[in-house]
Amino acid sequence: MIFMKTDLEQNRDLSAQIAKAIRDAIITGEMNTDDRLPSEAELADQFNVSRSTVREALKRLAAQNLIRTRRGATGGAFVHRLSYAEAYADHITTSTLLLSMNAVDFETACEARFALERACAPLSATRRSPDHLATMRAEVHRQSQPGLSDEGFCDSDVAFHRALVDGAANPVLSYQLAGAVEAMQPLMNMITFTARSREAIIAFHTRITDALEAHDADGVDTALSELARYTLGLGQKAMAARAAHRR
Amino acid sequence: MIFMKTDLEQNRDLSAQIAKAIRDAIITGEMNTDDRLPSEAELADQFNVSRSTVREALKRLAAQNLIRTRRGATGGAFVHRLSYAEAYADHITTSTLLLSMNAVDFETACEARFALERACAPLSATRRSPDHLATMRAEVHRQSQPGLSDEGFCDSDVAFHRALVDGAANPVLSYQLAGAVEAMQPLMNMITFTARSREAIIAFHTRITDALEAHDADGVDTALSELARYTLGLGQKAMAARAAHRR
DNA sequence: ACAAACCCAATTGTCTGACAAATGATTTTT
DNA sequence: AAAAATCATTTGTCAGACAATTGGGTTTGT
């Protein structure tokens, strides 16, 4: 792979332009996974800039998981195969940040989350493995522990719903939904769960798991939509309480 | 905001560690939108590293749209409010790359896309604005132009489905789905559309738009699931043809 | 011949110091 | 008072140096 100075405008922000040139080469498939980029010194020559500028460009790409670097004689920067696990993690932090920075309200996030989960339900009812069921049962059990903190309850809730989504055995679906499910957590964390509401949620979770075990897609869907309504109510109550408290 | 050397391990990859320290400060809300970070020189002092190292860290954050920098006396690095538009763009390129790098098959992507779209359908049937309908009609019209290339047809297809999703008037939903809808495009582009199949798809699109206009959620859902089945068939035929050709 | 120790070259990681360019604030001039 | 010049601060870029890592080759010991 050879880059040329001509790939750059004469303007400014060279490191961003260089990053873009290399990124394009990766995205368009001009470079393939595990291909090695030219060394920093070579890139500096090709783009006719200093090594520091090249390095800043490479750091940008590394931050996006597009390349990995290794030191040493056979080292260098290599095109990195973006794995689901890495993409998941990024997607979740970005989604969370996006929601918090744009002050998305509880209703909107809740609606999105349950709408998407319900989309997985039929597939999950067909394909869920014993592993998924076991995870869900375990989380339900964890949720019924008396000493569990509100945060722990939310953690478990997220884990439960992730298992439900993963049950659809479609990685694309899991990936896209991870953002919606996990990004809800900070909003859920603002709710104080009473023993009463925990009980209700656990009952929904049990119903969902049972229906899933019985391959009963309709049952899952019904329970999910009722849970959605219930969660929405909880959230609205919590928001109202907050608003009153702030008065 | 003051950072300390103690935030770093003594190990390696200082610029990554510094980036992480600052990123955490942003994500946890320790720093707010439009807050100014210390200058590069100050950060270098605080972390006890050179300015180049700090700069590499800042470039990492800039690549993730977490900060923006301005030159000049009142310049510096500022915490950036992540906008939907920016997040969309990143999400789409990442999704596309993830699918292509992991060789996701047509069935999986197709299933995910339509499952998610069907999740929006009821909401969209309730809330779609005249604007959304107009966009969809316009795209359908574009799709029926005789001279349209296969790629143009796919473009229009994506635009149509995006309008459908956006009709749900839930930005969280739109954001999460953007990845699934757009990332399908490269896979769709591998299909050669016959006049016959274009006609069929346009008919589905018309049915969907009509149902949406009539606020008929069930009609949208039915048409969408039939379109899903049809698209899947097209894709499988195309993949089979490819496999035969490669033989 | 084989293994261990050593050395070597390539490459990234970090540091230092310098200057250019942008940019808002300040001061001077008109 | 308005315009122009100057200044101080900050990011952007460059050049050169050295440290650290790492795989490959070379020598040496047996």
Chain A partners within 8 Å of B115 (Cβ): 119-120, 122-123, 168, 170, 173
Q: Answer yes or no: do A144 and A241 share one domain.
A: yes
Which residues have a Cβ under 8 Å from the Cβ of A175 and sit 6 or more positions away?
A84, A87, A88, A91, B95, B98, B179
Q: Answer yes or no: do B118 and B61 share one domain.
A: no
Q: Answer yes or no: do B160 and B229 share one domain.
A: yes
Locate all alpha helices (DSSP H) within chain B, ordered by sequence.
Answer: 14-27, 40-47, 51-63, 84-101, 106-127, 130-143, 150-166, 171-183, 185-188, 195-213, 217-246
**Is A55 in Cβ contact with B116 (below 8 Å)?**
no
Minimal C-alpha gap between A39 and chain B (Å):
17
**pLDDT, tens digit, 9 for 90 and up, residues B61-90:** 999 999 999 999 999 999 999 998 899 999
Q: Categorise residue A169: left if φ over 0, alpha if ψ from -120 to 50, beta otherwise.
A: left
Q: Answer yes or no: do B232 and B136 share one domain.
A: yes
Chain B partners within 8 Å of A34 (Cβ): none
Q: Answer yes or no: do B117 and B219 share one domain.
A: yes
Q: Which of B56, B79, B102 is a domain's end point?
A: B79
Q: Answer yes or no: do A72 and A88 share one domain.
A: no
CA angle B93, A78, B9 (to 5 degrees): 95
Measuring CA to CA, which residue among A218, A247, A123 is closest to residue A174? A123
Q: Which of A79, A95, A115 is a domain's end point?
A: A79
Coil, helix or strand for A78?
A: strand
Do B130 and A188 form a contact (C-beta atoms < 8 A)? no
Measuring CA to CA, which residue among B193, B166, B196 is closest to residue B182? B166
Question: What's the mean pLDDT when you consider all of chain A?
Answer: 91
The amino acid occupying position A72 is: G
pLDDT number for residue B7: 58
Considering only residues A242 and A207, tell me which one the structure prediction assigns the higher pLDDT: A207
Q: Which DSSP symbol is given to A190?
A: T
Measuring CA to CA, which residue among A17, A102, A14, A13 is closest to residue B80? A102
**CATH code of the domain containing A130:** 1.20.120.530
Query: Which residue in the set A27, A95, A176 is minimally distant from B97, CB to CB?
Result: A27
Query: Which residue in the set A57, A61, A176 is minimally distant from B176, CB to CB?
Result: A176
Please report how many Cα atoms fall inside a 13 Å half-sphere around the Cα of residue B131, on the Cβ side. Answer: 9
Q: Answer yes or no: do B201 and B110 share one domain.
A: yes
Q: Report the C-alpha gap between A239 and A191 in whole angstroms.
A: 8
Coil, helix or strand for B113?
A: helix
Q: Answer yes or no: do B71 and B185 share one domain.
A: no
Number of domains in chain B: 2
Q: Give just the sign of the alpha carbon dihedral B10, B11, B12, B13.
A: negative
Query: Which residue in the set B52, B111, B172 is minimally distant from A52, CB to CB?
Result: B52
Q: What are the tokens at A32?
A: 């393939």
Q: What are the tokens at B111?
A: 């299933």
Structural domain span for residue A164 = 84-246
**Is B90 in Cβ contact with A94 (below 8 Å)?**
yes
Scanning every residue of chain A, which has its alpha carbon at the shortest distance from the alpha carbon of B62? A60
Minimal C-alpha gap between A10 and chain B (Å):
18
Do B161 and B220 form a contact (C-beta atoms < 8 A)? no
Terminal-residue alpha carbon distance, chain B: 63
Share above pLDDT 70 across residues of chain B, in percent, rounded to a whole number: 96
Do B173 and B220 form a contact (C-beta atoms < 8 A)? no
Q: Which DSSP symbol is given to A38?
A: P
**pLDDT, tens digit, 9 for 90 and up, residues A87-97:** 999 999 999 99
Q: Answer yes or no: do A188 and A97 share one domain.
A: yes
Coil, helix or strand for A68?
A: strand
Least confident of A47-51, A141-145, A205-209, B237-241: B237-241
Q: Which of A48, A79, A110 is a domain's end point?
A: A79
Kind plus residue range of the DSSP H or E element containing B216: none
Q: Report the C-alpha gap between B14 and B23 in whole angstroms.
A: 14
Give the bridge partners for A70, in sequence order.
A76
Residues B121-139, mean pLDDT to the nearest whole number: 95
**Is B27 in Cβ contact with A97 (below 8 Å)?**
yes
Q: What are the tokens at B136?
A: 């969809």
Strands A67-70 and A76-79: antiparallel
Chain B partners within 8 Å of A123 (Cβ): 111, 115
pLDDT number for residue A16: 95
**CATH code of the domain containing A59:** 1.10.10.10
Q: Report the C-alpha gap between B123 and A119 in whole angstroms.
A: 13
Residues A118-135, mean pLDDT to the nearest whole number: 94
